[in-house]
Chain A
Amino acid sequence: MSARNNIPVADMVEGMGVAQLAPGTDTFRGQLVWRHRKGGIFAVLGLLSLAIALAMLAVLVIDILIRGVPWLNWGFLTSFDSRFAEQAGMKAGIYGSLWLIGLTILFSLPLGVMGAIYLEEYAIQNRLNAFIRINITNLAGIPSVIYGLLGLQVFVRWMQLDRSVLAGALTMSLLVLPIIIVASQEAIRAVPPSLRQASLALGATKWQTVWHHVLPVAFPGILTGNILAASRAIGETAPLITIGALTYLRYTPTGPLDFFTVMPIQIFNWTSRAQEEFHDLAAAGIIILLVVLLGMNAVAIYLRQRFRRKVRW
């Protein structure tokens, strides 16, 4: 039957035996039962494959909880990394991640939203703008480790920012920029055109329309996109390793030009050690990381629900 994929419906139906066999004959009934059963079998298969994927998620979470929970305590959050698993903590990673995310949002949020406004509200249909659009889609498909090489060459080497948290944040900003632009574009596009027309009809300029009428309405959507982008940035490891972020650090950054490490790098570092205790420690670190991510996603979902209910046209 799979060979008949592109045949028009009428021909196909003949192939299924509907037209050839008079309804009511035993062969037809027998076939029909089988034809329906195939659907049942497929549904079981579908549930099974979903179950495989979700079971993996469940096993992952349970395994990490069993390993990590005994290691979770206040000291784990407040002490620096150590050569002894019992004394090691995530303080440097937590501070580093906060610094990194703060700076990343500072750079990427205004840039991304401005870019999205241009593409949605200002850009006319021409080759240059089409190129900008295609380019943004393309950027989203570039592996994160390549962004790390970009950051290593441009920010660390040419701009001489060294392995600072600033260099990391700039790299990460470029990485999440396409996500922010696309999400903000969707939010802006969802604003009804009548709102813009009303504002323009009253004599407002384009920018006044955007600033006073489009952005406030699109704001929750933009915010959601930014939270999702930030949660992507918190979990990223490869580009930061590539620009040379440290794996073992016993102080926290005090300024944007200081060295740094982040939570995922500490987890990676502990995972690469041979001793089992460090693997458990990594599991504890993963719990912290996942709790942060879940919290951010919960906020994003909450915002989406809340504002969706409020605004109605």
Chain B
Amino acid sequence: MTNDAPTAGAPFRPESLRKNFRRDLDDRIIQSVLFLAAAVGVVTTFGIIVSLATETIAFFRQVSLAEYLGDTRWTPLFSSKRFGIWALISATLLTSLIAMLIAVPVGLISSIYLSEFASSRVREVVKPMLEVLAGVPTVVYGFFALTFVTPLLQRFVPGLGTFNSLSAGVVMGIMIVPLISSLSEDSLSSVPRALREGAYAVGATRYEVATQIVVPAALSGIVASVILGLSRAVGETMIVAIAAGQTPNFTLDPRVAVETMTAYIVQVSLGDTPTGSIEYQTIFAVGTTLFLMTFVLNIFSFWFIKRFREVYD
């Protein structure tokens, strides 16, 4: 529209122009306010980094990085303090590994079944139930692991302690199943129909279509779902804090009590730790380590989707 000169039909009215100006100004103010709201997310990330960094730097003024990464004993709460993070990392990795051993096969098979084999009626019943499974608070899973799964497993696994990474890992795996299955089902069902029909037309069976056409086409999304599941397992707190114990232990034995990074943060937070003390700083150092691990996993999963996504449109 070119309305720079007032035409004969519409007389020039400064009044309405001023009104327009007001409206535009209002709109611009509103836009700025909305922008600030959206930017809160960035501020949050910034806040996380700053608050982790300040205490972590203070921590590494007293403890060398070589000791932190070179030792396997973690005893900051005792009088003879050792700061070997591997005692905590090993427990986190062990429980996460056990969880993934459950969650990946169960989650992936479920997702392929739901997307390629199940009738829509089965899907309608099962998917909300999986959502319920995903919505159960983790403290409930922790309770279940400690008071039900551990006593149950103790009948079959000799030498299984009251606190152990096995039952914590198993229950954490069950918790992650809905995450993996729903995310990978999303990517499976977004594979275009034409691909499936093409394969059927040349005589492939349903199983062959599922495993050789649909799964490879959706692979980026499937791998991303597994990585996100792993990231969730690494950061999961209540299940391991309740069921895996609070004994820092550099071991791969799933039957004994261990302490994950998250469980350590909970343990210290439950006590009365004076701010500024080395014990207080340790939870931030551990938090930074945890943050970096999950951050790398999340970034990797996004990158994987972007890099290997098959686009058919």
Contact = CB atoms under 8 A, between A and B. Distances in A.
A149 B126 contact: no
A145 B266 contact: yes
Range class of the A interface residue count: 35 or more
A70 B187 CA distance: 45
Given A49-B106, A54-B133, A114-B33, A43 B117 contact: yes
A110 to B, nearest CB: 8
A139 B291 CA distance: 11
A289 B137 contact: yes
A298 to B, nearest CB: 11
A116 B55 CA distance: 33
A279 B262 contact: no
Contacts of B198: 9
A128 B146 CA distance: 46
B17 interface: no
A148 B129 CA distance: 30
Interface in B132-182: 132-133, 135-144, 146-148, 174, 177-178, 181
A242 interface: yes
A52 B113 CA distance: 14
Interface residues of B, number: 97
Contact of A242 (B110, B142, B265): B265
A191 B31 CA distance: 20
A241 B23 contact: no
A303 interface: no
Contacts of B114: 46, 50
Nearest to B177: A53
Contacts of B34: 114-115, 117-118, 122
Contacts of A2: 211
B10 interface: no
- Interface residues of B, dominant DSSP: helix
A214 interface: no
B54 interface: yes
Interface in A139-193: 139, 141-150, 152-154, 157, 174, 177-178, 181
Nearest to B128: A301
B143 A157 contact: no
B44 to A, nearest CB: 5
A267 interface: yes
B253 interface: no
A235 B132 CA distance: 13
A237 B263 CA distance: 12
Contacts of B202: 9-10, 13, 18
Contacts of A153: 51-52, 54-55, 284
B216 A231 contact: no
B61 to A, nearest CB: 17
Given A9-B198, A149-B51, A271 B136 contact: no
A294 to B, nearest CB: 8
Interface in B69-85: none
Contacts of A132: 38-39, 41-42
Given A39-B205, A57-B129, A115-B38, A271 B143 contact: yes
B210 interface: yes
Interface string A109-149: 01110111111001100000001101111110111111111
Residue from A67, A137, A157, A241 with most neighbouring chain B CB atoms (10 Å)? A241
Given A54-B126, A139-B41, A177-B40, A9 B136 contact: no
B203 A268 contact: no
A148 B237 CA distance: 11
A74 interface: no
B265 A149 contact: yes
Interface string A34-76: 0110110011011101101110110110011001000000000
Nearest to A271: B143
B130 A53 contact: yes
Contact of B26 (A12, A32, A114, A205): A205
A10 B198 CA distance: 10
A54 B177 CA distance: 10
Residue from B135, B234, B236 with most neighbouring chain A CB atoms (10 Å)? B135
Given A53-B106, A148-B265, A286 B140 contact: yes
A241 B143 contact: no
Contacts of B137: 234-237, 264, 289, 293
Contacts of B57: none
Given A177-B44, A271-B147, 20 more contacts: A10-B202, A16-B204, A39-B207, A45-B113, A46-B110, A49-B106, A50-B113, A50-B126, A53-B106, A57-B132, A63-B148, A118-B34, A132-B41, A142-B295, A143-B236, A145-B290, A177-B40, A238-B265, A241-B266, A290-B136
Q: In the A-B complex, list the 10 residue pairs whose CB atoms are closest, starting with the nearest.
A: A46-B113, A143-B235, A235-B137, A153-B51, A114-B37, A39-B207, A118-B34, A238-B237, A115-B38, A141-B298
24 contacts: A6-B216, A16-B208, A35-B205, A42-B109, A46-B112, A46-B118, A57-B133, A60-B136, A60-B141, A64-B144, A115-B37, A119-B38, A122-B35, A137-B302, A141-B294, A141-B297, A143-B234, A146-B52, A149-B287, A181-B41, A206-B31, A235-B140, A241-B266, A271-B242
Interface of B: 23-24, 26-27, 30-31, 33-35, 37-42, 44-45, 47-48, 51-52, 54-55, 105-107, 109-110, 112-114, 117-118, 126, 129-130, 132-133, 135-144, 146-148, 174, 177-178, 181, 198-199, 202-208, 210-213, 215-216, 219, 228, 231, 234-238, 241-242, 262, 265-266, 269-270, 275, 283-284, 287, 290-291, 294-295, 297-299, 302
